[in-house]
Amino acid sequence: MKSPAKSLTQLPKRALDLDWRLVLLLISSVTFFTYISISSSSAAAIPISLPKAASFKSILHPPNHRPNPTRQLNGSRIAVCLVGGARRFELTGPSIVERILRVYENSDLFLHCPLDSNAYKLQLLSDAPRIASVRIFKPQPVPETESQLRVLTPSNSPNGIQFLVALSIVLLVGGERVFELIGLFVVSVAEIWELQADVSCSKACEFGCRLTSSQNLLLCASEEIMPHMGLLQYFHLVEGCLPMIKAHQEKNNFTYDWIIRTRVDGYWSDPLGPENFIPGKYVVPPGSSYGGLNDRFGVGDYNSSVVALSRLSLISQLDSAGLTQLNSETAFKAQLSTQNVRYTTKRLPFCVVSDRQYPYPVGRNGVPVAALSSRGPLSGAKCRPCKPVCSGTCVGPMMSGLYRSWSWTEWANNTLELCDAHGEWEEGWETVFDNSAGKKLALARKRIWALNMDKCVDGFEKFKKRAAHWVGPSDAEICGLGLKKPA
Q: Quick one: 269 and 406 in the same domain? A: no
For residue 386, the tally of other CB atoms under 10 A from its CB is 23
Q: Quick one: 364 and 407 in the same domain? A: yes
Q: Quick one: 242 and 338 in the same domain? A: yes
Residue 25 covered by a domain: no
The domain tally of the chain equals 3
Q: Quick one: 170 and 302 in the same domain? A: no
Q: Quick one: 257 and 328 in the same domain? A: yes
Residue 235 covered by a domain: yes
Q: Quick one: 177 and 254 in the same domain? A: no
**pLDDT at residue 52 above 60?**
no
Q: Quick one: 374 and 428 in the same domain? A: yes
Residue 240 covered by a domain: yes
Q: Write the pLDDT tens digit of every residue in 268-300.
A: 999 999 999 999 999 999 999 999 999 999 999
Residue 116 covered by a domain: yes
Residue 255 covered by a domain: yes
Q: What pLDDT, on the 0 to 100 scale, is given for residue 73?
A: 80
Q: What pLDDT, on the 0 to 100 scale, is given for residue 153?
A: 83
Q: Write the pLDDT tens digit of every residue in 68-101.
A: 777 778 789 999 999 999 999 999 999 999 999 9
Give the domain range for residue 482.
67-140+230-347+451-487
Q: Quick one: 250 and 292 in the same domain? A: yes
% of the chain residues with pLDDT over 90: 63
Q: What pLDDT, on the 0 to 100 scale, is given for residue 170?
A: 45
**pLDDT at residue 160 above 70?**
no
* Greater pLDDT, 141 or 333: 333
Query: Mean pLDDT throughout 301-328?
Result: 96
Residue 229: pLDDT band by 50, 70, 90 thresholds?
low
Q: Write the pLDDT tens digit of every residue in 189-222.
A: 323 333 333 334 444 444 444 444 444 444 444 3
Query: Mean pLDDT throughout 119-127?
Result: 97
Residue 66: pLDDT band by 50, 70, 90 thresholds?
low
Residue 12: pLDDT band by 50, 70, 90 thresholds?
very low
Q: Write the pLDDT tens digit of every residue in 446-475.
A: 999 999 999 999 999 999 999 999 999 999
Nearest one of 408, 375, 370, 401 to 386, comparing CA atoms: 370
Q: Quick one: 217 and 235 in the same domain? A: no
Q: What pLDDT, on the 0 to 100 scale, is given for residue 69?
A: 74
Q: Quick one: 330 and 247 in the same domain? A: yes
Q: Write the pLDDT tens digit of every residue in 351-398.
A: 999 999 999 999 988 999 999 999 989 999 999 999 999 999 999 999
Q: Write the pLDDT tens digit of every residue in 28-38.
A: 554 554 544 44
Q: What pLDDT, on the 0 to 100 scale, is given for residue 429?
A: 97
Q: Quick one: 125 and 274 in the same domain? A: yes
